[in-house]
């Protein structure tokens, strides 16, 4: 087996089984797991982000799980630096390491590096924030669809921060946000093997719906209630919390909020699928594939 540094990256939609597979692989290769799920960084958001449970965390060493607070600004650029530094350290112990997560932008930041965007007039962001407050998020979503449909189809358009970021580049440069992406980046000192998990849409949606029900049973409403006063923070602009904040603000009934969480989680999974399907390097497996077959595929690539 080659001793070249290798990062095995597991991707796929929410609730597909990435955590379980990553632990089995980490135990087989006797290595650590880097989480690149942008929602699981925050220690105040345990239930709604489906962080690995105590037994899962004990089954293999994990990094970047609940290591930040929602009160800290933590960008994808900072994560890229932190993750590369941690990998540098881990590769000295074992040339094989694992990364897992459904946040495509964060996966790409570690594997390829971030895209370089030009500076634009700060007034554009101020104007867009005002439009968000006065006209609602759908107005900005429609604007992005007209200016840059490619980005509209791939980013988390329910996240106002991401939406405004894409729009300010479109407006400030007169070019699409997508046109600044995928330029040559700094080479990495490791090779990458990408494993994707997939399921038929009906199965995937059923798994998402059941996961939301379990989160509610496990206390998601109570967790969100404690965070309600901080609902403007960027970390909380996420599925599972936003809908419950609407319930607390009396805009939604509890039943409707739960259905919205399920619907928006399904939409999120669809966007994850769109993002990852563009990557021809991903080796796809059914989510029920025998882990031995996945290990054999990986070992043949090492």
How confident is the model over 60-71, as pLDDT tens digits?
Answer: 999 999 999 999
What digits encode the pLDDT tens for the residues 37-52?
999 999 999 999 999 9
pLDDT at residue 135, rounded to an integer: 95
Residue 1's pLDDT band, with cuts at 50, 70 and 90, is very low
pLDDT at residue 119, rounded to an integer: 86
What digits encode the pLDDT tens for the residues 98-155?
999 989 989 999 999 988 888 889 899 999 999 999 999 999 999 999 999 999 998 8
Listed by start position, the domains of the chain span 6-114+185-301, 122-180
Q: Per DSSP, which regions of the chain are E strands?
A: 6-12, 33-35, 62-63, 96-100, 191-198, 282-286
pLDDT at residue 186, rounded to an integer: 76
What digits encode the pLDDT tens for the residues 273-295?
999 998 999 999 999 999 999 99
CATH class of 122-180: mainly alpha
Number of other CB atoms surrounding residue 157 within 10 Å: 21
Binding-site annotation: residue ranges for ATP: 12-19
CATH topology of domain 6-114+185-301: Rossmann fold (3.40.50)
Binding-site annotation: residue ranges: 12-19
Burial of 189 (0-12, 13-18, 19+ CB in 10 A): exposed
Average pLDDT over residues 155-184: 90
Query: Which residues lie across from 63 on neighbouring strands?
Result: 34
What digits encode the pLDDT tens for the residues 247-268?
999 999 999 999 999 999 999 9
Q: In the predicted model, is pLDDT for residue 184 greater than 90?
A: no
pLDDT at residue 117, rounded to an integer: 86
d(CA 98, CA 63): 10
pTM, two decimals, is: 0.82
Binding-site annotation: residue ranges for substrate: 14-19
DSSP 161: H
């Amino acid at each position: 087996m080659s001793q070249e540094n290798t990062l095995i990256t597991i991707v796929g939609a929410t609730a597909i089984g990435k955590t379980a597979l990553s632990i089995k692989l980490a135990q087989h290769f006797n290595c650590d797991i880097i989480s690149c799920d942008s929602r699981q960084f925050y220690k105040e958001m345990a239930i709604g982000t489906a962080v690995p449970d105590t037994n899962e965390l004990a089954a293999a060493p994990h990094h970047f799980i609940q290591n930040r607070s929602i009160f800290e600004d933590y960008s994808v650029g900072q994560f890229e630096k932190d993750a590369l530094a941690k990998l540098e350290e881990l590769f000295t112990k074992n040339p094989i390491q694992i990364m897992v997560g459904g946040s495509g932008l964060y996966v790409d930041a570690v594997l390829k590096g971030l895209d370089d965007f030009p500076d634009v007039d700060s007034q554009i962001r101020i104007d867009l924030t005002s439009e968000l407050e006065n006209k609602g998020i759908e107005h900005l979503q429609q604007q992005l669809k007209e200016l840059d449909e490619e980005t509209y189809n791939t980013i988390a358009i329910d996240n106002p921060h991401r939406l405004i970021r894409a729009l300010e580049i479109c407006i400030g440069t007169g070019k699409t946000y997508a046109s600044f992406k995928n330029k040559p980046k700094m080479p990495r000192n490791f090779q990458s093997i990408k494993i994707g998990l997939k399921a038929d849409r009906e199965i995937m949606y059923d798994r998402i719906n059941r996961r939301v029900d379990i989160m509610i049973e496990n206390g998601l409403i109570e967790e969100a209630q404690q965070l309600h006063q901080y609902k403007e923070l960027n970390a909380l602009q996420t599925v599972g919390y936003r809908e419950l904040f609407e319930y607390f603000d009396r805009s939604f009934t509890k039943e409707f909020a739960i259905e919205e969480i399920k619907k928006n989680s399904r939409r999120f999974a669809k966007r994850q699928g769109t993002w990852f399907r563009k990557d021809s390097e991903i080796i796809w497996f059914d989510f029920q594939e025998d882990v031995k077959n996945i290990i054999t595929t990986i070992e043949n690539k090492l």
